[in-house]
């Protein structure tokens, strides 16, 4: 029978002081790592505030997949209301936005997500997409008036 089956409080069953000290040390290291990760995610959220709509896990998933911008698609609807997908051309150029009703609005300009400062920085190109969305909708509204 295992110790944890006898008593779920395993800490009380550890007789080895060295092992207890190692657990304490590793817990402190884990706390430092978690604090650093939280600070890192906060810097990304400050740069692109719409990341506040995402959980830490979702944001980490986006940041981990910066080489494949299409993997951001499943989180776009959480960042932008009424936008279901971005319209990608050649897997790296965003040319428009698509609503849940499949309405496709083409942007005034194309955004290559792997060009210059945008490469590997999803928060940079998403911020540029947000600004392009606004500019495009302002132009379309002006044209309608």
Q: What is the pLDDT of residues 69-92, one digit of tens each?
A: 888 998 999 999 889 999 999 888
R_g (Cα) of the chain, nearest Å: 23
Task: Name the band, by pLDDT with cuts 50, 70 and 90, for residue 67.
Answer: confident
What is the reported pTM? Answer: 0.78
Is the pLDDT reported for residue 20 higher than 80?
Answer: no
Question: CA 47, CA 136: separation in Å to the nearest integer?
Answer: 22
Question: CA 92, CA 121: separation in Å to the nearest integer?
Answer: 13
Q: What is the pLDDT of residues 103-136, one digit of tens each?
A: 999 999 999 998 888 888 999 999 999 999 999 9
Is the pLDDT reported for residue 2 higher than 70?
Answer: no
Phi, psi (rounded to 5 degrees) for 21? -65, -35
Is the pLDDT reported for residue 52 higher than 70?
Answer: yes
Mean pLDDT of 31-59: 94
Domain boundaries along the sequence of the chain: 37-144
Average pLDDT score over the chain? 87
Domain 37-144 has CATH 3.40.50.300: no
Q: What integer pLDDT is reported at residue 6 of this predicted model?
A: 55
Is the pLDDT reported for residue 33 higher than 60?
Answer: yes
């Amino acid at each position: 029978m295992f110790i944890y089956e006898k008593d779920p409080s395993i800490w009380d069953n550890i007789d080895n002081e060295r092992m207890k000290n190692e657990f304490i040390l590793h817990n402190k290291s884990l706390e430092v790592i978690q604090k650093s990760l939280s600070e890192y995610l906060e810097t990304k959220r400050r740069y692109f505030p719409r990341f506040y709509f995402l959980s830490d896990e979702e944001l980490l998933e986006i940041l981990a997949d910066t080489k494949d911008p299409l993997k951001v698609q499943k989180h776009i609807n959480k960042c932008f209301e009424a936008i279901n997908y971005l319209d990608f051309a050649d897997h790296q150029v965003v040319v428009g936005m698509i609503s849940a009703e499949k309405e496709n609005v083409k942007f005034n300009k194309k955004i290559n997500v792997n060009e210059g400062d945008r490469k590997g920085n999803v928060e940079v190109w998403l911020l540029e997409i947000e600004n392009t969305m606004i500019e495009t909708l302002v132009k379309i509204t002006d044209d309608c008036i």
